[in-house]
Amino acid sequence: MDSTTLLIAVVGLALFAYYFGRQRAVVAAIAAGPRGFHSLPGYHGGYVALWCALPAIALLVLWQVFEPVWLRSAVIDSLPEATRTLPEAELGLIYNDIRNVVEGNIPSTDPEIGAAAERYSSLRDSSRRIASGAVIVLGLVTLIWAYRRVRPDFRARNRVERMIEYLLVAGSSVAILTTIGIFLSVFFEALLFFQQVSPFEFLFGLSWSPQTAIRADQVGSSGAFGAVPLFAGTLLISGLAMLVAVPVGLMSAIYLSEYASRRFRSYAKPLLEILAGIPTVVYGYFAALTVAPLLRGLGESIGLDVASESALATGLVMGIMIIPFVSSLSDDVITAVPHALRDGSYALGATRSETIRLVVFPAALPGIVGAVLLAVSRAIGETMIVVMAAGLAANLTANPLEAVTTVTVQIVMLLTGDQEFDSAKTLAAFALGLVLFLVTLTLNIVALRVVRRYREQYE
């Protein structure tokens, strides 16, 4: 049986277990009389069902994780001596071939691989048989064990509730595990990269051309992994985006929260927030096919040479994407400023705009800074717009009319397409990912702390 069928079988078994457990409890309850029973029959059923399903599913998961490891070592051990002692990378390729032969993706040509493929599939079949048997037997054994515990004085409800609580704890640990998983997976790949390229060169090198040699005598095959042009490009585009998003977003928020009538606000605010719901790939399409040619034409008409993948077009569209982000966060912050401050200012004769500029804005400043920091982290990590509209070649410049590339563009370029997994080129993507993760993490933590402290100030 494959794992899906097995899982369904276990769930079916658990349903039966629930029914039997409940039935036994009902019979026992009738015999014991109305006051002699601790838990409702449903809890007894649930107890039996949970005991039947959980260990069996745990075993199933363990088997899923360890089967490929075991299969690999067993198959490789059966290969001839000469093949077995090949370096790890080539062995991996051969193993992949074997698996592809088994799946029927490629025809078997080499008799050695054919034999190994046969061994692989026979081992896999017997492993599946054993695992199916073991899972079902385990389910039955725990079912019977739990079933025999159904007695009038058995505290089934407390047990079931304890088990559910454990399940809830396990569920909530997934969020933590995700963060740890991100960090570890990116960190270890980056570590492999830093064994080939020194971190110093990566962080401070001025030239980026991630080509690795296919032949030794190839031109331009040296490969340079200095990421400064990427950082500079990312900062340039994000900076342009912030130049658009911060003034427009902030002024919109001020207008909406301080000037607009209730009715106008109830239409304008959701409309502005539609901008936040548009998928980024759509912005990318827009930047590449509408805004960039527009800017190029505009530049030509006044005699400027604008690259067709200019940082300006990308930054502009990214800024528009971030407007609702800035405006809704600063809207929250501005409305949180206590009314007493405004009233005091009006009482001294200040106009509305003077109140906003001289009283409300300074009072809201920490919160607004937090919002801007969050927006910067969004801009740095934004991928689709830059992949579609920014340049591909690393270019160290501060001129917004030229094409620059960013960290996220390079990650996508390095990882799409086929290449071996442990080449410096692929691993460089993970090093970039690590930098991206750490920078955005720091920005987020600082921003959230600033916003929280600000909120406490007025509560």
Which residues inside 362-381 make contact with other proteins, applying CB under 8 A? Answer: 374, 377-378, 380-381
Distance CA 150, CA 25 (A): 6
Q: Pick from 182, 93, 134: which is nearest to 420 by CA?
A: 93
Of 141 and 446, nearer to other proteins (C-beta) is 446
405 close to 388: Cβ distance less than 8 angstroms:
no
* CA trace torsion 434, 437, 438, 439 (10° rounding): 120
Beta bridge partners of 225: 208
**Residue list 321-350, contact with other proteins (CB under 8 A):** 323-324, 327
To other proteins, the closest distance from the beta carbon of 269 in angstroms equals 10
CB of residue 277 vs other proteins: minimum separation in angstroms? 6
One residue of 84, 129, 148, 357 binding other proteins per CB under 8 A: 357
Given a contact cutoff of 8 angstroms between Cβ atoms, the answer to whether 240 and 312 are in contact is: yes
CA distance 228 to 233: 8
Name which of residues 112 to 171 contact other proteins (CB under 8 A): 157-158, 161, 164-165, 167-169, 171
* Closest CB 182 distance from other proteins, rounded Å: 5
Q: Does 419 bind other proteins (CB under 8 A)?
A: no
Q: Which residues of 12-49 are buried (b: 16+ CB within 10 A; e: fewer)?
A: ebbeebbebbbebbbebbeeeeeeebbbebbbbbbbbb
Tokens, residue 175: 């969020």
3-state secondary structure of 403: coil
Q: Sign of the C-alpha dihedral, residues 115, 117, 119, 125?
A: negative
- Tell me which stretch binds other proteins (CB under 8 A): 7-15, 222-230, 339-347, 431-439: 431-439
The distance of closest approach from Cβ of residue 255 to other proteins in the complex, given in angstroms and rounded to an integer, is: 3
Contact in structure between 12 and 135 (CB atoms under 8 Å): no
Contact map string, positions 63 to 82, toward other proteins, x by CB under 8 A: --x--x--------------
User: What gap in Å lies between CA 347 and CA 354, rounded to an integer?
Assistant: 12
Q: Minimum CB separation from other proteins for residue 300, in Å?
A: 19
Choice from 191, 396, 415, 446 touching other proteins (CB under 8 A): 415
Q: Nearer Cβ to other proteins, position 95 or 225?
A: 95
Q: Which of residues 216-275 bind other proteins (CB under 8 A)?
A: 247-252, 254-256, 258-259, 268, 271-272, 274-275
Rounded to whole angstroms, the Cα distance separating 84 from 267 reads 70
* Cβ neighbours of 338 (radius 10 Å): 12
Residue with tokens 């970039």: 432
Q: Which listed residue (382, 395, 403, 428) binds other proteins by CB under 8 A?
A: 382
Span of 7-15, 145-153, 329-337, 441-449 interacting with other proteins by CB under 8 A: 441-449
**Residue from 8, 281, 298, 398 binding other proteins (CB under 8 A):** 281
Is position 181 an interface residue for other proteins (rule: CB under 8 A)? yes
The verdict on 104 binding other proteins (CB under 8 A) reads no
